[in-house]
Structures are given as structure tokens and as C-alpha cells.
Amino acid sequence: MMGQLPGGQQRLFYSFNLEGHVPPHHLLRSIDQCLDLSDLRAYLADFYSPIGRPSIDPELMVRMLVVGYCYGIRSERRLCEEVHLNLAYRWFCRLGLEDEVPNHSTFSKNRHGRFRDSDLFRWLFNEVLRRCMAAGLVKGEGFAVDASIIKADASRQRGVAGDEVDWRDPALRSRAVREYLEALDDEALAEALPKKISLTDPQSRWTAAPGGPAFFAYATNYLIDTEHGVIMDVEATPAHRTAEVDSTKTMVERVEAQFDLTPERLIGDTAYGTAPMLAWMVEEKDIEPHVPLWDKTERKDDSLSSNDFHWNQETNEYRCPAGKPLRSEWRTFTQKRSRVTKANTIIYRSSQTDCATCSLKAKCCPTEDRPQHP
């Protein structure tokens, strides 16, 4: 006999237990067993007023953000809708069936306000890491480092040349622009403006690192304990190789200061195989590098490489394959000059007279008048 759905939605009272409607092996049940937010209110106490109307419970907002992270819900508006509808999300956030979900604007105000001022997410990250360490999941002997490209929420059409922006224009005074200018003032950054900059998100960087068309992006840099793959630290930077490599120093030193852990070895790809980075690992931190060297000497064309030029310590000069010298200075000055560039290098140049008639000039410097060697 064909059944018929009873019209039971008009009942006034229900016998309902939210706990019984969340499967035993649900992801959020596993996270709930390990997530301890008992100290959260005490940590944030100084960032709330002792008087006035009670705010949204900060633990509720943190739990909702964990749900958004685990299930890839990037929009706070959509996150509020999902928590309102999904029983498992309500259970994890400690909400009953009749409890109201916070408005999405509450998240924006708290993220850009007290959550940022208190460095809440860093505190929460460290608390979770401490629980991992207490459970024996962190060995602390070997760390690995790498970066992932994260596309910025910035349109390609809003990108302009870095030297064409008038930052005094009131139309550009958005929150993202204000934070960018404040960072420039506070850190006194000496680097030049990038070739292309986003007026929507100036701190992002124009990159084509993943391949394909370029776009504005950030890099998330991870420091990972190799024993069980536990993330020890994370640092967001513009999608720029120099910033990504420098963030490794920040993360290693922060873990050392916070948890008194310094790895015996550090694993990374070729991007971390620069001379300054290797020197920092070996000489300053006594860390054994497991990193391929960043060797730029090999040539894909028929031109000469730096290995074809030989160093003479006694005369402080290089010799090219034709036997001609390359020197850092060709005349004596009354006041001695260091010759050290902003990139912390010394440039050795040949004599223009030697190069003018040299038979190897086409291979030596196909795009320049004469060779130079850093």
C-alpha cells in the first residue's frame, strides 16, 4: 500500500534532543573533544567593558569561525545562514534550536577590533599546539617549511603602477589602504614600491608563481614538525619570494621564544637555498639545512657562467676566460670606498677596452657592454 507523509509540522510540542542528531563519528565531535576554550573569556576580559549590554559570547564566535574554516565557508554572511540551518553546527556552537545566531556584521566588527587587538587567533593557535605537544605529537627535532599561494580578494582591473598612486587622494582612504600606509610608516620599509599594486588591497602582491595569468595574492607560510605533520607556526606575507623566505626566520624564532624549541634540521625547497638563509641557519641557529642550493650559475644558452670566472684572493680580482681582470675599482680614491651595494654585494667589472675587441664578448655579455660579477 502506498504510504502518505503525515502533516506533522503543525505540532506545538516536540520531544527532541540535539545531541542525538549528531552522528558519533562526525568531524565536529572529534574537534570538540580536543578544543578547550575554558580560558578564552579570561584572556579577552581586558578587551570588554565591565558595564553595558552583554555582548555575543566570544566562544560562540570562535566556534562558528572554526566551523567556517573546517568546511570552507569563507563568507561570514553564509556562515551565519549555515549555522542557523545545520543541526551539527548548532550543536558544536552550543546553540539550542531556539537560540539566535549572531548577525554577520558582528564578526567583521570583532575581527577588525578586539580579536585583532588581542591577537586572539595567535593565542588560540598556541593553545591548540600546547595540547598537541602534551599529547606527544611534537618531537621538535626536524621542521619543514613551505608556502602556499592564496588569491587575494582584489580585482585585476584595480591594479595600477606602483609609482602612479597618489595616496593622499581621499577616495583611496579605505581600511586596507590605511593599514598599508600605517605598516609603511611603522616598519620604515626601504624596499621600492612593486611594479603593480592593487588599490583594493595594497598589501597583496602581483604574482604568476602558480603558472598561468598573474593575479594579486598572499602567501601563507607554514613551519611543520616532521614527526606527525603538526603545524608549529604560520605567517602570512605578500606573495613575494623574499618575504616568504624571511618569514622562516620569524617563525623559527617565535617557536623558540614561545616553546623553547629549536629544530636540529630544517627542510625546504630551492627557494630557501640562498646564501644568506643558509648562513643564518648554520652560523646563527646551528640548524642543519636540508635544502637544495639555489644555483644560478648554470646557463641554458651558450653564454658563459660565473664558474668560468676565477677568483684571485691576492689581487682582489676575477679573471675571465680570456685572462682579463674584473675589479671592484679601477682607480684609487683619496677617501676609501666600501663598494658594498644595497643588496650587500660587491660588483666586479672589466675594463671596457679589454672587452671591446674580445672574441668571447658575444658569449660573455650578450646584453651588456662589458661583464660584471657580484
pLDDT digits (tens, 9 = 90+) for 199-241: 778 778 888 877 778 888 889 999 999 999 999 999 998 888 8
Whole-number Å distance between alpha carbons of 221 and 255? 14
What are the backbone dihedrals phi and psi of residue 151, each rounded to the nearest 5 degrees, phi first?
-65, 130
The phi-psi region of residue 72 (left if phi > 0; otherwise alpha if psi is between -120 and 50; otherwise beta) is left
Q: What are the pLDDT tens digits along the chain (374 aa)?
A: 776 767 666 666 667 788 888 999 999 999 998 888 999 999 999 988 888 888 889 999 999 999 999 999 988 899 999 999 999 999 999 998 889 999 888 888 888 888 888 999 999 999 999 999 999 999 999 999 999 998 888 877 777 775 666 656 665 656 666 666 556 544 444 454 667 777 778 778 888 877 778 888 889 999 999 999 999 999 998 888 888 889 999 999 999 999 999 999 999 998 888 888 999 999 999 999 998 887 666 666 777 777 778 888 888 888 888 888 888 888 777 667 667 776 677 888 888 888 878 888 777 776 665 555 55
**Residue 80, exposed/middle/buried by CB under 10 A (0-12, 13-18, 19+)?**
buried
How many CB atoms neighbour CB 123 within 10 A?
Answer: 14
Distance CA 110, CA 153 (A): 20
Other C-beta atoms lying within 10 Å of the C-beta of residue 336: 8
The alpha helices in 200-295, defined as continuous H runs, are 241-259, 275-279
CB distance 60 to 102 below 8 Å: yes
Q: pTM of this prediction?
A: 0.72
Are the beta carbons of 119 and 258 closer than 8 angstroms? no
235 neighbors 150 (Cβ within 8 angstroms): no
Measure the CA–CA gap between 122 and 233, rounded to whole angstroms.
9
Buried b (16+ CB within 10 A) or exposed e, 163-187: eeeeeeeeebeeebbeebeeeeeee
What is the pLDDT at residue 163? 60
Give CA–CA dist 267/157, Å, rounded: 38
Q: For residue 45, give the DSSP letter.
A: G
Q: Amino acid identity, residue 183?
A: A
